[in-house]
Amino acid sequence: MVEVRRWADSTVRRRSSRDELARNEKRERVVQAAKQVIDESGIDVGTALIAERAGIPRPHVYRNFTSRDDLDDQVARRAAQDLIARVRPHLTRRGTPQQVVEGLVRACATWAEEHPHLYRFLAARGQSRTLHRARMGRSRLLDEIAAAARGYTKSGVASFPEGILVGVMGMVDATVIWWLDQRDESLDVMVGRLAGHVTLVLRDALAGHGIPLDPAVELEPFVAE
């Protein structure tokens, strides 16, 4: 009798594991479909387009999500991962403060040019909730930039002032989105101008925390490439 019970328990566990795997696969399919249609058509895409791309009936779209907001959070995480992958290599490059900042700004701007709807979507999600919400991709990007900043400046400060980075990111988002909408100057001109503004803000903010940043000195990242 004990053996039968063990067999039954094992069967239930295997079935539960298979069901969980199937749910995760369906959830991921919907997230990827939503990300694709937002990338192609804009942030206001409806459920019907997402369902069509995912290859499922429209009523099934939210079966594995608590709400559309939950689905949008998952899409934002995936998009942020893509953006982080583009930016990350520039967090460990040598150069003057202006050169380092320009590399980061250019990485963001070129990704935004390739994925304007996703960039707007990410910026909108960042404005609609705190950047500390659990596991949101934008917070991870801020964490990585803060870690790089500590490395570049050899700062002993345990936590790089995050308020500075939040403000800078808001300036970058606003400028890049304006440029996407207006196209009133070339990408190179916009990136150079924006990088100059960001560098000045960072230099001033760092000076206020006792961290000098000589504009002519070539910075070497703490983390090796």
- Eight-class DSSP state of 159: S
Q: pLDDT at position 223, please?
A: 47
Higher pLDDT, 148 or 63: 63
Say yes or no to pLDDT of 225 above 50: no
pLDDT band at 146 (very low <50, low <70, confident <90, very high): low
pLDDT band at 154 (very low <50, low <70, confident <90, very high): low
Structural domains of the chain in order of their starting residue, each with its CATH number: 1-65 (1.10.10), 68-225 (1.10.357.10)
Averaged pLDDT, 172-186: 96
Backbone angles phi, psi at 219, to 5 degrees: -85, 145
Reduced to 3 states, what is the DSSP secondary structure of residue 95?
strand
**To the nearest whole number, what is the mean pLDDT of the chain?**
80
Q: Count the neighbouring beta carbons within 10 Å of the beta carbon of residue 168.
A: 21
Cα 84 from Cα 66, distance rounded (Å): 26
Which string of b and e fits 148-159 if b means at least 16 CB within 10 Å?
Answer: bbbbbbebeeee
Averaged pLDDT, 164-170: 82
pLDDT band at 21 (very low <50, low <70, confident <90, very high): confident
Nearby residues of 118 by Cβ (< 8 Å), 6 or more positions away: 35, 38, 39, 79, 82
Which tokens hold the place of 184?
Answer: 């009133």
Higher pLDDT, 145 or 157: 145
Say yes or no to pLDDT of 8 above 50: yes
Please write the tens of the pLDDT for every residue from 33-85: 999 999 999 999 999 999 999 999 998 898 888 889 999 999 999 999 899 89
Cα 92 from Cα 79, distance rounded (Å): 22
Say yes or no to pLDDT of 196 above 60: yes
Cα 190 from Cα 194, distance rounded (Å): 6
